[in-house]
Chains A and B, each alone.
Chain A
Amino acid sequence: MADWRESFRVLFARRVVLMAAVLLIGMLLMAILCTWVLPYEPMAMKVSQRLKAPSLTHWAGTDELGRDITSRIFYGARYSLTIGACTAFFAALFGTLMGLLAGFFKSLDAVLMRLVDAMMAFPDILLGIALVSILGASPVNVILALTLVYTPRVARVVRASTLVIRELPYIEAAHAVGLSTPRLLFKHILPNLMSPILVQLSFIFAYALLAEAGLSFLGVGVGAEIPTWGTMVASSTQYADRALWTLLFPGLAIVLTALSLQVLGDGVRDLLDPRLKGNT
Chain B
Amino acid sequence: MSKLKVPGLTLPKKYESNIRELRYSVYLLKHSALAVFGISIVATIIAVAVLAPYVAPYAPEAFVWQDKLQPPSLQHLFGTDDRGGDVFSRVLFGYRIDLAISASVVVFAATIGTVLGSLAGFFQRIDELLMRVTDVFLSVPSLILAMAFGAVLGRTPTNLVIALAISWWPVYARLVRGQVLVEKQKLYVEAARASGGGAARILFRHILPNSIYPILVNATLDLGAVILTTASLSFLGFGVEPGSAELGRMVADGRAYVFTNPWIVGFPGLAILIASLGLNLVGDGVRDVLDPRLRR
A binds B: no
- B-side residues, CB < 8 A to A, are none
- A-side residues, CB < 8 A to B, are none
